[in-house]
């Protein structure tokens, strides 16, 4: 039986995904070592030989897990076959991160490798619709719906996968610095809510519209709960089935301790 390879990025997610696989082969782009997991490094400049090596190891399925930023490329170390792909990859990069990732996925598939989604490997990490902790008010539901509407528009611009909305107003939007930076910004400007006694606000997260759900899915973990609580928010909502939860039990414990809600939301209109 062929092995599954994990192409690991930074953070805890690769190690969590590995727990659901038997004897996975684990690799990481040089400079993007995952947390708590040994991974063999490879370089994008030698992508085609790396793919050949996967096939030689009888690897036919690949799952991507963890955060990866665009690596700096060294023109002097490209092998001839990978060099032929450079114009294609660079053109995709000009269209944004999503296009660049899709181009890389296409190259893997053209080399007889199947890309698996994390939902196939660890479906338990992506809960279906329901409230996991706390209570969601009507005002919270309206703020979550507003957040979903905002991401539906900004996602097409290849921005982030999260936003903070309070009383219908967008307090923060996730961009390149990431979720923690967004929530820190929301905490510093929490007094901008129109009614100090009104709804506290919601952190909403979802994949970008049209995003390839096999890679770069939004992720939440216990630290997200702490940061939302520190920002004075009522809770966290996300698109049910479209967001990965790392250590769900600990997230629930911290949410209950902080008296905030966790909500895997279905359709929001």
The rounded distance, in Å, linking the Cα atoms of 17 and 166 is 34
pLDDT at 95: 63
- Give the pLDDT band of residue 219 (cuts 50, 70, 90): very high
pTM summary value: 0.83
29-70, pLDDT tens digit by residue?
888 888 888 899 999 889 999 999 999 999 999 999 987 777
Contact between 251 and 220 under an 8 Å Cβ cutoff? The reply is yes
The rounded distance, in Å, linking the Cα atoms of 75 and 20 is 37
Mean predicted confidence (pLDDT) in 241-255: 95
Q: What does the block give as tokens for 42?
A: 């490879």
Q: What angle do CA 93, 95, 96 make, to 5 degrees?
A: 70
Q: What angle do CA 103, 147, 65 make, to 5 degrees?
A: 35
Contact between 258 and 233 under an 8 Å Cβ cutoff? The reply is no
Q: What does the block give as tokens for 227?
A: 């940061």
**268 vs 172, higher pLDDT:** 172
Alpha helices in 122-242 (DSSP H): 138-154, 179-188, 222-230
Residue 8: phi and psi, rounded to 5, are: -95, 140
Q: Is 251 helix (H, G, I), strand (E, B) or coil?
A: helix
Mean predicted confidence (pLDDT) in 220-245: 96
On the question of pLDDT at 1 being above 60, the answer is no
Task: Break the chain into its structural domains and give their ranges.
Answer: 3-121, 126-265
- Give the pLDDT band of residue 263 (cuts 50, 70, 90): very high
Mean predicted confidence (pLDDT) in 161-174: 95
- Of the candidate CATH numbers 3.40.50.280, 3.40.50.620, 3.40.140.80, 1.10.3210.10, the domain formed by 126-265 belongs to 3.40.140.80
On the question of pLDDT at 27 being above 90, the answer is yes
79-131, pLDDT tens digit by residue?
999 888 888 877 776 666 667 778 888 899 999 999 998 888 888 899 999 99
Q: Which fold has domain 3-121?
A: Rossmann fold (3.40.50)
Contact between 137 and 199 under an 8 Å Cβ cutoff? The reply is yes
């Amino acid at each position: 039986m062929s092995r599954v390879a994990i192409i690991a990025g930074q953070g805890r997610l690769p190690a969590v995904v590995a727990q659901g696989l038997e004897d996975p082969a684990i690799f990481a782009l040089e400079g993007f070592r995952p947390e708590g997991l040994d991974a063999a490094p490879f370089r994008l400049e030698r992508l085609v030989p790396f793919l050949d090596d996967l096939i030689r190891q009888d690897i036919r399925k690949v799952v991507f897990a963890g955060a990866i930023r665009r690596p700096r490329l060294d023109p002097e170390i490209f092998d001839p076959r990978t060099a032929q792909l450079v114009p294609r990859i660079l053109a995709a990069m000009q269209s944004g991160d999503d296009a660049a990732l899709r181009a890389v996925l296409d190259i893997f598939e053209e080399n007889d490798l199947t890309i698996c989604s994390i939902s196939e490997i660890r479906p338990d990490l992506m809960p279906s619709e329901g409230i996991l902790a706390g209570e969601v008010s009507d005002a919270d539901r309206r703020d979550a719906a507003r957040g979903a509407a905002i991401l539906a528009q900004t996602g097409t611009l290849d921005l982030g996968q999260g936003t903070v909305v309070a009383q219908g107003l967008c307090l923060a939007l996730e961009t390149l610095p990431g979720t923690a930076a967004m929530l820190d910004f929301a905490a510093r400007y929490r007094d901008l809510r129109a009614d100090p006694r009104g709804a506290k606000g919601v952190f909403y997260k979802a994949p970008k519209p049209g995003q390839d759900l096999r890679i770069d899915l939004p992720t939440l973990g216990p630290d997200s709960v702490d940061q939302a609580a520190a920002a004075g928010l009522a809770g966290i909502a996300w698109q049910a089935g479209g967001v990965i939860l790392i250590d769900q039990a600990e997230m629930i414990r911290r949410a209950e301790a902080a008296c905030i809600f966790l909500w895997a939301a279905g359709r929001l209109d």
